[in-house]
Structure 1
């Protein structure tokens, strides 16, 4: 793990007050802008901050300071720490939720259940830092405050990021079995639309022709005389 400078502004104040280093050298060493170092020297910035001696903290040696004072182009180098602290191991556990936002978790859970039913309980637990019992009570409407819950987007509430939510939704979509989509109505192509209109006109013309033949005078008299002719033949 690379060494980092402790309290950069306090160190810059000490270097301005106790050395003849240039503003650029101090700015590069402390990770500040050169104008900010100039403002510190003029007393316009970092007021009320006490200077920190980098030599006493083991971050800079006297020899390094003297060498930089003799050569304005020389860049100060941070000393390696004598004691290396072990890196803390990340503990896997439920997401920590600030106390001020914990009251919003039930609303976020209700929103996830309604808008993303494909999410598993474990995924909801990772997103909002809740328990399986709370998710079950909200889903079954047995939560103590179920009547007053209002679904709210967990991203808007600050309980998770949009990227985290999208990743969980995509993961749930991959695990969900594929569903066969039924063909719904679709827009006709120009050729299909013209063909359908022509067929409709032809159908209307045929129906009109049938009506004219049915109600014509000759056909009516023919139907009225047909039974009489048959009776005369029988006599």
Structure 2
């Protein structure tokens, strides 16, 4: 839902100059009803000068009177020729002058340890340009002899979170399937556990065999035909 310019200042004016309910003002200005009530009580926005939505063409007098007569109605924002503020497009990251000489070192580190990153990602991370990345890559940079690969996080050119985010996105952008890493330590532990379980099974089997009478373990005893039955 579109909101008026400077919603809080507009709410101040509506509270002071109209008979609208707090609920109507809150719905029009995108605020909570209790916040509008706090404005009326002087607890909030005490130093804000009210902004007349009639004067700037965001609300008509007829619309205001219509809603004042019926609390169930909601104010409708009028079309206005006043340009609305636009979100600023994200540009290249700003790098302080004191750290700009560290960017070639950071580029060299990223090219060495994370070749999967694109030039656009590197530019975004440390606020550099693609031509600079190319000169560092092909060692044609004017200061190539003194460039030392250093982590951009430790240099303060980007955060660890931003670096990990770009690394995670790089394989998907390049269409590379990353093979799952095998935890050899875990596999060794599992093998050891299986061996112990088999050993315990053998011990349990031996204990069970020892509890069985010998004649049952060796089978029925053959009778000697020459043996006297005692009769």
Aligned CA distance change for structure 1 residues 74 and 164 (closer, same or farther; 3 Å):
farther
The question of whether the paired residues in 2 share the 8 Å contact of 1:111 and 1:152 is answered with no
Aligned CA distance change for structure 1 residues 21 and 149 (closer, same or farther; 3 Å):
same
Q: Distance in 2 between matches of 1:50 and 1:116?
A: 54
The question of whether the paired residues in 1 share the 8 Å contact of 2:9 and 2:49 is answered with yes
Aligned residue in 1 for 2:32: 33
Aligned residue in 2 for 1:118: 116
Say if 2:10 is the partner of 1:7. Answer: no
Deviations 1:61-104 (A, max 9, x none): 111111111111111111122x386998x99xx94212449937
TM-score (norm 1): 0.58
Aligned residue in 1 for 2:17: 18
The question of whether the paired residues in 2 share the 8 Å contact of 1:3 and 1:80 is answered with no
Q: Distance in 2 between matches of 1:77 and 1:57?
A: 14
Cα distance, 1:174 vs. partner?
1.9
Q: What are the within-5 Å matches in structure 2 for residues 13-162 of structure 1? A: 13-81=12-80, 83=81, 95-100=91-96, 103=99, 106=103, 108-136=106-134, 138-139=136-137, 140=139, 142-143=143-144, 146=147, 149-152=150-153, 156=159, 160=162
- Mean CA deviation greater in 13-22 or 166-175: 166-175
RMSD between aligned alpha carbons? 4.3
Aligned CA distance change for structure 1 residues 103 and 143 (closer, same or farther; 3 Å):
farther
Task: Determine which structure has more spread, i.e. the larger CA radius of gyration.
Answer: 1
TM-score (norm 2): 0.59
Q: Distance in 1 between matches of 2:171 and 2:98?
A: 22
Cα distance, 1:114 vs. partner?
3.5
Cα distance, 1:163 vs. partner?
4.3
Higher percent of residues as helix: 1
Aligned CA distance change for structure 1 residues 124 and 173 (closer, same or farther; 3 Å):
farther
SS of alignment partner, residue 174 of structure 1: coil
SS of alignment partner, residue 13 of structure 1: helix
Q: Distance in 1 between matches of 2:43 and 2:85?
A: 38
Q: Distance in 2 between matches of 1:111 and 1:24?
A: 58
The question of whether the paired residues in 2 share the 8 Å contact of 1:110 and 1:151 is answered with no
Q: Distance in 1 between matches of 2:28 and 2:85?
A: 24
Q: Any gaps of 5 or more consecutive residues in structure 1?
A: 195-235
Q: Distance in 2 between matches of 1:12 and 1:50?
A: 10
Aligned residue in 2 for 1:169: 171
Q: Any gaps of 5 or more consecutive residues in structure 2?
A: 199-231
